[in-house]
Amino acid sequence: MEKKILLFSFLFCQVFFAKSQSLPEVKLDKTWIDKIHSLAPESATFPISEKKNVLVFSLHTGFDHWVIPHTEEMLKVISEKSGAFEVTGSKDVGMFEMENPKKFDAVVLNNTCSKPDHRNLFWDKLREESDADSAQVMKWALKLEANLLEYVQNGGGLLLLHGAVTTQNNSGAFSRLVGASFDYHPPQQAIQVRLEDPNHPLVQAFPVGGFNHVDEPYFYKNAYSDLDFKPLLYFNNSEITGQRNALTEGKTYVAWIRAQGKGKVMYCSPSHNAQSFETPELLRFFLDGMQYVVGDVECDETPIKKQ
pLDDT tens digits for range 184-194: 999 999 999 99
Residue 12 lies in a domain: no
Task: Work out the percent of the chain whose per-residue pLDDT is above 70.
Answer: 93
For residues 163-176, give the mean pLDDT: 98
In a domain, 161, yes or no: yes
* The pLDDT value given to residue 4: 39
**pLDDT at residue number 98:** 85
Q: What is d(CA 209, CA 186) in angstroms, rounded to the nearest whole number?
A: 24
2 within a domain of the structure (yes/no) = no
pLDDT for 20 equals 54
pLDDT digits (tens, 9 = 90+) for 74-133: 999 999 999 999 999 999 999 999 889 999 999 999 999 999 999 999 999 999 998 889
For the chain, the average pLDDT equals 93
Q: Is the pLDDT of residue 6 over 50?
A: no
Q: Please state the domain count of the chain.
A: 1
DSSP classification of residue 164: G
| Residue 1, in any domain of the structure | no
pLDDT of residue 17: 38
Using only the alpha carbons of the chain, give its radius of gyration. Answer: 20
What pTM was computed for the model? 0.92
CATH number of the domain at 227, please: 3.40.50.880
Residue 15 predicted with pLDDT over 90: no
Residue 3 within any structural domain of the chain: no
User: Residue 5 falls within a domain, yes or no?
Assistant: no
CA distance 251 to 207: 19
Burial class (CB in 10 A: 0-12, 13-18, 19+), 272: buried
At 8, is the pLDDT very low, low, confident or very high (cuts 50, 70, 90)? very low
Confidence of residue 169 (pLDDT cuts 50, 70, 90): very high
Q: Which amino acid is at 48?
A: I
224 within some domain: yes
The boundaries of the domain holding residue 73 are: 25-306
Q: State how far the Cα of 155 lies from the Cα of 247, in Å rounded to an integer.
A: 38
Per the domain annotation, does 154 fall within a domain? yes
How does residue 214 score in pLDDT terms, banded at 50, 70 and 90?
very high
User: pLDDT band at 3, cuts 50/70/90?
Assistant: very low
pLDDT at 219: 98
CB within 8 A of 245, min separation 6: which ones?
Answer: none
Is the pLDDT confidence value at 10 over 60? Answer: no
CA nearest 125: which of 67, 170, 169, 59?
59
With b for 16 or more beta-carbon neighbours within 10 A and e for fewer, the 242-265 pattern comes to: bbeeeeeeebbbbbbbbebeebbb
Give the span between the Cα atoms of 46 and 24, in whole angstroms. 35
Is the confidence at residue 197, as pLDDT, over 90?
A: yes
Measuring CA to CA, which residue among 295, 293, 274, 294 is closest to residue 283? 274
Of 27, 108, 25, the residue nearest 64 (C-alpha) = 25
Cis before 271 (ω within 30): yes
Contact 306, 258 (CB under 8 A): no
Tens-place pLDDT, residues 221-233: 999 999 999 999 9
